[in-house]
Homo-oligomer: A and B are copies of this chain.
Amino acid sequence: MTTEQIKYNDMSVKPSGMVDHLSDAQWAKVAPLLTQHMHYPPSEVISRRGDLLDHSLLLLDGLIARSVPSGQRARNTFVALQFPGEFVDLHAFPLKRLDHDVVTLADTRVAIVAHEPLRELLNGDVELARKLWLMTLVDASIHRHWVMRNSAMRALARVANFLSEFDARMSAAFGMERQSLPFSLRQTDIADATGLTSVHVSRTLRELREHGCCTVAGGKLLIHDRKELHKVGMFEAAYLYVPQSEMAP
């Protein structure tokens, strides 16, 4: 394993994104559990399907996919993506056994939360426990959207919707919308996430580019016309349950 272990002391600043569902006071309780950090290069398998976990991960920076062996395709299938400020596998806290691999898709930093101290913390704070529950339920809502997207949308709309979601969740992580986003996914990764082949993803991205929606190139996602991208992808962000305090002017 080519991982590297570092100690940070300062988690006092609450990251943007999903953890913003927590109040400042709640974050102040969770932060002390995040003493141990790890750093991984891209395409690294952090945990494997079937593993019994005694800890979960908070994604600080980078990008992570949850991946399962694919039914009848050559490569694996991505069943979820996690962005900075999101818990990667908090469901392992009640569930323990993992039903998917956890794989990095970029240079990635995570903070480790051991389940034992987390259990003690949550035993004494019902509200906080409910917030963490809620955050896993947002994951489930996103899963449901992925089922719809990969079952009922054509390639062009499917990829446009996927990129719209990427934009929205990345914006939540940044705390603002951007015209240019870091985009470490290869076209084969987009294929794994959308249930298409990388060949057809290539063709579809060209189409989106020629429509003037967006360009994926050089590790960047350039949004030319967000409104048009959303329209092509029939994108409505409600299912992401982005915290209120986010995205304020």
Q: Which residues of A contact B (CB under 8 A)?
A: 66, 68, 70-73, 77, 79-80, 91, 94-95, 97, 99-100, 122-123, 126, 129-131, 133-134, 136-141, 143-154, 157-158, 161, 194-195, 234, 238-239, 241
**Contact A130–B94 (Cβ < 8 Å):** yes
Query: In whole angstroms, what is the CA distance A240 to B151 when docked?
Result: 21
Q: Which of B94, B145, B146, B153 contacts A133 (CB 8 A)?
A: B94
**Contact A144–B66 (Cβ < 8 Å):** yes
**Contact A154–B77 (Cβ < 8 Å):** no
**Contact B73–A152 (Cβ < 8 Å):** yes
In the complex with contacts A137-B136, A151-B77, A144-B100 CB distance below 8 A: yes
Extra inter-chain contacts (9) besides given A99-B145, A99-B239, A150-B151, CB under 8 Å: A71-B148, A71-B157, A71-B158, A72-B152, A91-B140, A94-B134, A97-B241, A151-B194, A151-B195
A122 contacts across to B, CB distance below 8 A = 126
A134 contacts across to B, CB distance below 8 A = 94-95
A158 contacts across to B, CB distance below 8 A = 71
Q: How many copies does the complex hold?
A: 2
Query: In whole angstroms, what is the CA distance A138 to B68 when docked?
Result: 16
A144 contacts across to B, CB distance below 8 A = 66, 68, 79-80, 99-100, 143
Residue among A71, A129, A133, A151 having the largest count of chain B Cβ atoms under 10 Å: A151
Query: In whole angstroms, what is the CA distance A140 to B97 when docked?
Result: 14
Query: In whole angstroms, what is the CA distance A80 to B137 when docked?
Result: 14
26 CB < 8 A contacts A-B: A68-B145, A68-B148, A70-B148, A71-B152, A71-B153, A71-B161, A72-B153, A72-B157, A80-B147, A91-B141, A94-B130, A94-B137, A95-B134, A95-B138, A95-B141, A97-B238, A122-B126, A123-B126, A129-B133, A133-B136, A136-B137, A137-B140, A139-B140, A150-B151, A151-B194, A151-B195
